[in-house]
């Protein structure tokens, strides 16, 4: 894997570390001032992201998979707070900062038609 991809993954790992500790100030070094956020719960910009994060507090999230390619990092995670769910986050990284974010989160079902959980890897 390229050094750039590994560096981009390290940025996202630091973001998840900030989530776990509830450190909204850490976002200053991770998000671009004009970050574009496709999450429907917040608007664009670093200040909006910090405000939302400060309201939520620490976020318990376990990363199950992280893939990086061409300035994008994809994360498959188990979010336990503020609500439990399975999530896919996509981050665009430029010049060492997250400049754009997309996410999709779904509730965890008690049972699935296939019998598989949302996080296991079978092969």
Q: What is the pLDDT of residues 62-101, one digit of tens each?
A: 999 999 999 999 999 999 987 899 999 999 999 999 999 9
Q: What percent of the chain has pLDDT over 90?
A: 77
Is 119 inside a domain boundary? no
Full domain range(s) for residue 91: 3-106
Is 114 inside a domain boundary? no
Is 101 inside a domain boundary? yes
Query: Residue 58's domain is classified under what CATH number?
Result: 3.10.450.50
How many domains is the chain built from? 1
Contact 102, 89 (CB under 8 A): yes
Is 15 inside a domain boundary? yes
Edge-to-edge order in the sheet of strand 97-106: 31-37, 97-106, 85-94, 72-79, 61-69
Is 111 inside a domain boundary? no
Q: What percent of the chain has pLDDT over 70?
A: 98
Is 49 inside a domain boundary? yes
pLDDT at residue 1 greater than cutoff 70: no
Is 44 inside a domain boundary? yes
Is 62 inside a domain boundary? yes
Q: What is the pLDDT of residue 83?
A: 82
- pLDDT tens, position by position, 4-32: 999 999 999 999 999 999 999 999 999 99
């Amino acid at each position: 894997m390229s050094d750039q991809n590994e560096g981009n993954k390290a940025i996202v790992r630091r973001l998840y570390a900030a989530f776990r500790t509830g450190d909204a100030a850490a976002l200053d070094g991770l998000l671009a001032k004009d970050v574009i956020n496709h999450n429907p719960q917040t608007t664009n910009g670093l200040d909006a992201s910090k405000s939302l994060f400060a309201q939520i507090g620490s976020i318990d999230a376990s990363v199950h998979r992280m893939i990086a390619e061409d300035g994008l990092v994809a994360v498959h995670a188990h979010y336990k707070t503020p609500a439990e769910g399975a999530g896919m986050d996509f981050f665009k990284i430029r010049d060492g900062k997250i400049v754009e974010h997309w996410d999709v989160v779904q509730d965890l079902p008690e049972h699935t038609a296939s019998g598989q959980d949302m996080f296991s890897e079978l092969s």
